[in-house]
Structure 1
Amino acid sequence: MKKLFVKLGVCFALLLSMLTSFTGVVFASNEGVSVDKNTTGLSDAKYQATFVFDASNLSKEVDNVQLEGGFQFIKESDDHLYEENKGSNSGINWYTAYEYQDGMYPTGGCGNKDRTDVKYNGGYILYDMKEDNQIYSVTLPLPSTEYFYGYYVTYSDGTAEVVQDPANPSKSNSINGHDATWSYFYVGDKSDALKGQEYIYPSQRTGKQVYETYTAYDGTSNEVGVYLPAGYENGQDYKTIYLAHGNGGNETEWTQLGSAGNIVENLVAEGKLADCVVVSLNNSHFSGTGFNTSSNKILADDVVNNVIPFIENNFKVSRKADDRAYLGLSAGGVASSTVMELEPDSFGAFGIVSAATQVEESTFTDELIAKLKTKKIYLSAGTVDFGLINSIFKASLVDFYMPQLDKCGIKYTFEKQNGAHDWNTWRGAFTTFAKDILWNPETVTYHLTIDTKVTKGEEFIIKTNIPTTKYKDLFIDEQMVSMDYEVDENGYVMFKLSKEFTSNLGVGKHNVRCVALNGEANGEFEVINKVVAQNKTNKTNKTSTSVKTGDNTSLVEYTALMFMSGYFVLRKRIYLK
């Protein structure tokens, strides 16, 4: 009977797998999203994601549930048509996740809705989910990147809404309740990530996201997000990156949908960026902003006169303008270019992504031009991004803002990302900005605290002033030592070399080098033989101690005789081999 049940279970599993391969649907009991290797038999994607949603917990009667999110793809070979057609999507096809092929990439939403064989909600393709007793599920084959998603719920009364995954909601700011609007998750890792997404994945270095309230320029209370890097408590004078979201966004989006904290931590870990504090702004707090400099002046005033002083008075960051950078996306790109034009002395670098402020000739005075020639300026947009070219707001980069900078002789770096007006573009742009435009790690000379002489076969302690977040490798005599470090009372790296380890070291001098991400510490120690105590040989208070030294070619014996007068007489005998 037991064998029969096992065989039936195997058959059921095979049948379920076959159904999944043909329909893209899988029944599951655990809510949320799970990622596995692609077994659907559909698409070239390496992975698959299974979504499960329990509709019984909703307050109204549900008629249907569909999945939507960043699951629309275009061919890289077609993206040139967008710029060639002056911002038109004509000739570009959008594909579903089931149709994904190598050489495609996601674009957030669809640039057109020409297909009649799929359903849409706005620019998003709706994926049908299979229902079983109010449990809805679907499996999509997906390539490696970060995805946002939600469930499009249609109620029996005819109303509909998009809800986040209750098993995987975005994190919220407990002060004001803001969140990232969408649920999100990661597929794959750096080794197989889509172009521009290599550094987005959670890092082994883990910092801390906090939210703070400050007094805005108009006297109201507003919130900012502050990402403190791993090991923040051990450092000081951190560089600071200020990030602005797009229209309708908030201070929680950049570190969730934008993976800004992960990107910074991964770049720091590879020695490609100095440690940074990341400040995410909440510009939606202010109303009346548009696409010109005058309407965005309030954002420049607020960040310079209110946000920066608050951050520098409450966190261990540098107060130098060259140690600050400002990057914004979409409406945040308009804000960034406004800050650059009105407050150029407040930052050393500017990133303008997917939009810029409308060009106003009168703003570009000789004084401003001279200042901007000393700044690092980075411009970027997606390949099929309305912020790239022919914007109806006259705020796109290629045909409005870049020509103005060229005319003034202001140097900048421009890069197109694989993406549209979406987070794939913005994560890729932020990665380049941080890695190639901002600060290289400063070289630090660290120090070792060690005994200059080490007895062979005894435990040996090496202390450093290297923070755990900066430690990389330990070398003895230029040979890498695979050894777990310990942490001292100050949070610094230390090592305990075991008795067995020192027993294997040769007698004589050895060098030690402890490598950090931004420097190293060097030192030297000498291994000596262990002192061997001999037993007493007679009853005349005579004691002998032997010490082997150097190459062991001689033995030195010191004999001390104690006399009644209390004085010592030392007698030295040397035996040569």
Structure 2
Amino acid sequence: MMNKLSIAILFILMIPALGSSQDNSDKNQGFFPAQTNQPGKQYPMVNAKGKVRARITAPDANYVKLDIGGVKYDMVKDQDGMWSGESDPQDEGFHYYQLNIDGASVNDPGSKSYYGAGRWGSGIEIPAHDQDIYAMKKVPHGKITQKFYFSEITKTWRDCFIYTPPNYHKDMDTHYPVLYLQHGSFEDQTGWSSQGKANLILDNLMASGKAVSFIVVMENGYASRPASETDGNQNRSPSAFEDVMLDEVIPMIDAEYRTLKDRKHRAIAGLSMGANQTMRIFMNNLDKFTSYGGFSGTSNYPSSDAIDPVTFLDGAFKDGAAVDKKTDVFFLSLGTKEPNPFPGSVGAFKKMLEKQGIPYTFYESPGTAHEWQTWRRSLHEFAQLLFK
């Protein structure tokens, strides 16, 4: 007869086996831990169809839902208080998601955190058929550095992330072109090197000879003047991003890094909100840039209207021949599943460029919406055109 101590020991030894049984069941159904999980965490899981399976222990909860892709999926509780559930198939690429417990949206403890939707939250990677473009490979890798600086314009401490290409810190005689690359709304300067995998995309392109070596600067697109400078001043906008970029960031990068400082070796690009911001900076400063990339956005112009080049951006596109002469690369992109208003807005912008005789390159990402897989692919295509 087994005594109480023996029974307790046996139960403890069974716990890993019980967990292993569940893991094996998941694997038999084609599920495997997501690439974006915290080290050692088995959940969330994904399968080849793009379904997401989540689990969380919440014994006192009345209900739990998996919230991803704008849809909330009910999860089911077992006798031990473990809630489990899965989503419909998701598009390939990166997605923000969260768990909803009794009405409170919380991070999944199994996932790494990413800044998006205005907060640090969970993210999950659905394997893509073209994930090789941002895969970690045995090639020379660049370096990402976080640069802190005090902005005299905003009167705050700010930071940006800087990608320097392979051999930058070895070959000390070479100077490099620079791409200023911006995030979208409710994201920040961490997005392109984290969710966007910009460094890996560029490492792989440079290693294969498909892109020249260049520096990338990823700045925070949110910048405001002190309230004391804008209160009661109708002619001064609280937004200061363009001034921060032109008067502080670019001079700082040129002073501290081995850059090629002429306009021919400087480009600017962004996604969504960042596409709008960088469009205005580019067109207002053709003496400083020669290449532009607008991913899933351009000017946020109403999609139902034709764009009048005489009035749009104060007539910046009025002289199409002059714009063309000063531009090396004018790149636009969009996912085939983008929601309104983006297809209409970008479409209207393309028509305006065509009317003005301004050549551009347009890339369409197949099967993706207003999300990071569209923008990863866009960077992959855009980078191959730059500084050649």
Q: In the alignment, is residue 416 of structure 1 matched against residue 364 of structure 2?
A: yes
SS in 1 for 2:322: helix
CA distance in 1, matches of 2:19, 2:378: 47
Alignment-derived partner of residue 67 in structure 2: 68
Deviation at 1:247, TM superposition (A): 1.5
Per the alignment, do residues 66 and 344 of structure 1 end up closer, same or farther by CA in structure 2, a change over 3 Å counting?
same
CA distance in 1, matches of 2:160, 2:26: 48
Alignment-derived partner of residue 111 in structure 2: 168
Per the alignment, do residues 397 and 25 of structure 1 end up closer, same or farther by CA in structure 2, a change over 3 Å counting?
closer
Deviates more, 1:215-224 or 1:362-371: 362-371
Deviation at 1:326, TM superposition (A): 1.1
CA distance in 2, matches of 1:439, 1:237: 13
Residues 268 and 291, structure 2, Cα contact 8 Å, conserved in 1: yes
Alignment-derived partner of residue 407 in structure 1: 355
CA distance in 2, matches of 1:253, 1:285: 17
CA distance in 1, matches of 2:316, 2:237: 17
Per the alignment, do residues 18 and 269 of structure 1 end up closer, same or farther by CA in structure 2, a change over 3 Å counting?
same
1:129-165 alpha-carbon deviations (Å, 9 max, x no partner): 655634444567978953334332313xxx41132x3
- Greater strand percent: which structure? 1
Per the alignment, do residues 223 and 151 of structure 1 end up closer, same or farther by CA in structure 2, a change over 3 Å counting?
same
Alignment-derived partner of residue 379 in structure 1: 332
Alignment-derived partner of residue 280 in structure 2: 338
Q: Which amino acid aligns with 2:98?
A: Y
Per the alignment, do residues 140 and 271 of structure 1 end up closer, same or farther by CA in structure 2, a change over 3 Å counting?
farther
Q: In the alignment, is residue 222 of structure 1 matched against residue 169 of structure 2?
A: no
Per the alignment, do residues 160 and 10 of structure 1 end up closer, same or farther by CA in structure 2, a change over 3 Å counting?
closer
Alignment-derived partner of residue 89 in structure 1: none
Alignment-derived partner of residue 208 in structure 1: 143
SS in 2 for 1:255: helix
CA distance in 2, matches of 1:241, 1:229: 12
Per the alignment, do residues 372 and 48 of structure 1 end up closer, same or farther by CA in structure 2, a change over 3 Å counting?
same
SS in 1 for 2:184: coil
Per the alignment, do residues 209 and 135 of structure 1 end up closer, same or farther by CA in structure 2, a change over 3 Å counting?
farther
Matched-pair identity in %:
24
Residues 180 and 252, structure 1, Cα contact 8 Å, conserved in 2: no
Q: In the alignment, is residue 183 of structure 1 matched against residue 132 of structure 2?
A: no
CA distance in 2, matches of 1:185, 1:23: 17
SS in 1 for 2:326: coil
SS in 2 for 1:335: helix
Per the alignment, do residues 186 and 248 of structure 1 end up closer, same or farther by CA in structure 2, a change over 3 Å counting?
closer
Out of 169, 176, 199, the position equivalent to 1:233 is 169
Q: In the alignment, is residue 31 of structure 1 matched against residue 30 of structure 2?
A: no
Deviation at 1:198, TM superposition (A): 3.9
Per the alignment, do residues 65 and 149 of structure 1 end up closer, same or farther by CA in structure 2, a change over 3 Å counting?
farther
Q: In the alignment, is residue 389 of structure 1 matched against residue 343 of structure 2?
A: yes
Q: Which amino acid aligns with 1:315?
A: Y
Alignment-derived partner of residue 216 in structure 2: 278
SS in 2 for 1:285: coil
Per the alignment, do residues 143 and 276 of structure 1 end up closer, same or farther by CA in structure 2, a change over 3 Å counting?
farther
CA distance in 2, matches of 1:129, 1:279: 45
SS in 1 for 2:287: helix
Deviates more, 1:142-151 or 1:255-264: 142-151
CA distance in 1, matches of 2:191, 2:244: 20
CA distance in 2, matches of 1:300, 1:247: 16
CA distance in 2, matches of 1:364, 1:15: 61
Q: Which residues of structure 2 form unaligned runs of 5+?
A: 1-15, 34-39, 228-235, 302-306
Out of 311, 315, 326, the position equivalent to 2:253 is 311
Alignment-derived partner of residue 133 in structure 1: 80
CA distance in 2, matches of 1:276, 1:132: 56
Q: Which amino acid aligns with 1:211?
A: Q
Per the alignment, do residues 320 and 329 of structure 1 end up closer, same or farther by CA in structure 2, a change over 3 Å counting?
same
Alignment-derived partner of residue 511 in structure 1: none
Alignment-derived partner of residue 11 in structure 2: none
Per the alignment, do residues 297 and 183 of structure 1 end up closer, same or farther by CA in structure 2, a change over 3 Å counting?
closer
Deviation at 1:277, TM superposition (A): 2.1
Residues 160 and 219, structure 2, Cα contact 8 Å, conserved in 1: yes
Q: Which residues of structure 1 form unaligned runs of 5+?
A: 1-8, 39-43, 70-108, 110-122, 173-177, 289-293, 391-395, 441-577
SS in 2 for 1:356: coil
Residues 180 and 257, structure 1, Cα contact 8 Å, conserved in 2: no
Per the alignment, do residues 11 and 253 of structure 1 end up closer, same or farther by CA in structure 2, a change over 3 Å counting?
closer
Deviation at 1:438, TM superposition (A): 1.3
Q: In the alignment, is residue 354 of structure 1 matched against residue 296 of structure 2?
A: yes
Per the alignment, do residues 124 and 267 of structure 1 end up closer, same or farther by CA in structure 2, a change over 3 Å counting?
farther
SS in 2 for 1:415: strand
Q: Which amino acid aligns with 1:63?
A: N
Deviation at 1:349, TM superposition (A): 1.0
Larger Cα-atom Rg: 1
- What is the root-mean-square deviation of aligned Cα atoms in Å? 4.0
Q: In the alignment, is residue 299 of structure 1 matched against residue 241 of structure 2?
A: yes
Per the alignment, do residues 146 and 389 of structure 1 end up closer, same or farther by CA in structure 2, a change over 3 Å counting?
closer
Q: In the alignment, is residue 251 of structure 1 matched against residue 189 of structure 2?
A: yes
Residues 68 and 126, structure 1, Cα contact 8 Å, conserved in 2: yes
Q: Which amino acid aligns with 2:295?
A: V
CA distance in 1, matches of 2:249, 2:89: 40
- Residues 356-505 of structure 1 aligned to structure 2 (within 5 Å): 356-357=298-299, 358=301, 359=307, 360-361=311-312, 362-364=314-316, 369-375=321-327, 376-385=329-338, 386-390=340-344, 396-399=345-348, 401-418=349-366, 419-435=368-384, 437-439=385-387
Residues 93 and 125, structure 2, Cα contact 8 Å, conserved in 1: yes
Per the alignment, do residues 200 and 68 of structure 1 end up closer, same or farther by CA in structure 2, a change over 3 Å counting?
farther
TM (normalized to structure 2)? 0.73
- Greater helix percent: which structure? 2
Q: In the alignment, is residue 194 of structure 1 matched against residue 129 of structure 2?
A: yes
Deviation at 1:253, TM superposition (A): 1.0
Residues 32 and 166, structure 1, Cα contact 8 Å, conserved in 2: no
CA distance in 2, matches of 1:387, 1:309: 36
